[in-house]
Copies of this chain bind each other. A is one copy, B any other.
Amino acid sequence: MTDLPAGELPLRDEIFQRMGGLTPAERKVARTLLARYPAAGLESTAALAAAAGTSKPTVLRLMTRLGLGSYREFQERLRAEVTRSMSASPLSRARARRAAPSEDNVFLRAVQQRAGLVTRLQDTVPPGEIERAVSLLAGRPKHVVTSGGYFSRLIARMLAMQLDQLIPNVDYAGEPLGADVGKYLRAGRDSVAIVFDLRRHELASEQVVSMAKASGATVVLITDESLSPSAEEADIVLPVAVDGVPFDSFAALLVLTESLVDAVFQHAGEAAIERMADWERSVHIYRA
């Protein structure tokens, strides 16, 4: 009963998986489709295009590329999928109750919740997007800058420190619109700007992204699942789950950046190892 026709994944997964082989504008559509699933796909082409920041034909081209026939066919499949998923919903209600092991230990509950966020990372970040980010960073960019919002800047800083061990010319911009503006103006065609912008999106991040784009840099945006407004301008978007009660958590964010660095290391090989050796030699910390 839960079986689908052979080869027919749920649309969400189909899109998720094939994101790598899309053109940039198509990818923007795919992103908003996943971010607001399935509502975004049940609206009109015009509405979807507007939400994604592109045009109607791009939406239609996405459909043809995914091998779904017309947009109407796509919507029909979506509706069928939704109906199937909702008629099975009494089940999911039971799951939800079981998933909440009502332990009165506040701390452990917080830990488990965050462990869940980390696990979800495999679902929120499209593999294709990661791959692109990794080869971008491992492909000897001339210059890499990171920056973030009020809290997320700390993760940005950590990313910069870790990345700096692997590749040259990595900078952290604490005040991208102030004292550190030069680090962005220096950016050129193969620079990379990594921008963090999480929930309660800050106005400044949009300006930073625009500035980076304007100077020709490739922009990697790391944001929450609701997608920062800057997502429209960014070249690569890595969405991350951060929601928790009462506080949002950076757990998945940190794991994402660490794993990104890890992957870059594996990908860059020789050069990275050499640089790490240099690093170890010149930066000396007094050990116990």
Interface residues of A (CB under 8 A from B): 1, 9-10, 12-13, 16-17, 36-39, 42-43, 75, 79-80, 82-83, 85-93, 95-97, 99-100, 105-108, 110-112, 114-115, 118-123, 127, 130-131, 134, 149-151, 154, 157-158, 161-162, 200-206, 228-229, 246-247, 249-251, 254-256, 258-263, 265-267, 285-288
| Copies of this chain held together in the complex | 2
Q: Is the CB of B202 within 8 A of A287?
A: yes
| Contact among B111, B122, B134 with A111 in the assembled complex (CB-CB below 8 Å) | B122
| Contact among B39, B115, B246 with A118 in the assembled complex (CB-CB below 8 Å) | B115
Q: Which residues of B contact A200 (CB under 8 A)?
A: 285, 287
Q: Is the CB of B111 within 8 A of A285?
A: no
Q: Is the CB of A162 within 8 A of B37?
A: no
| Contact among B36, B83, B96 with A9 in the assembled complex (CB-CB below 8 Å) | B96
Q: Which residues of B contact A92 (CB under 8 A)?
A: 10, 12-13, 85, 88-89, 91
Chain A binding surface SS class: helix
Q: Which residues of B contact A206 (CB under 8 A)?
A: 288
Q: Is the CB of B201 within 8 A of A106?
A: no
Q: Which residues of B contact A202 (CB under 8 A)?
A: 285-288
Given A83-B39, A247-B261, A285-B202, A118-B111 contact (CB < 8 Å): yes
Q: Which residues of B contact A1 (CB under 8 A)?
A: 93, 96
Q: Is the CB of B259 within 8 A of A114?
A: yes
Q: Which residues of B contact A261 (CB under 8 A)?
A: 247
A36 nearest CB neighbor, chain B only: B83
In the complex, what distance in Å separates the CA atom of A204 from the CA atom of B287?
A: 8
Q: Is the CB of B122 within 8 A of A118?
A: no
Q: Which residues of B contact A79 (CB under 8 A)?
A: 38-39, 42-43
Q: Is the CB of A258 within 8 A of B228?
A: no
In the complex, what distance in Å separates the CA atom of A85 from the CA atom of B17?
A: 22
Q: Which residues of B contact A115 (CB under 8 A)?
A: 115, 118-119, 121, 255
Q: Is the CB of B154 within 8 A of A42?
A: no
| Nearest CB in chain B: distance from A126 CB, A | 11
Q: Which residues of B contact A256 (CB under 8 A)?
A: 111
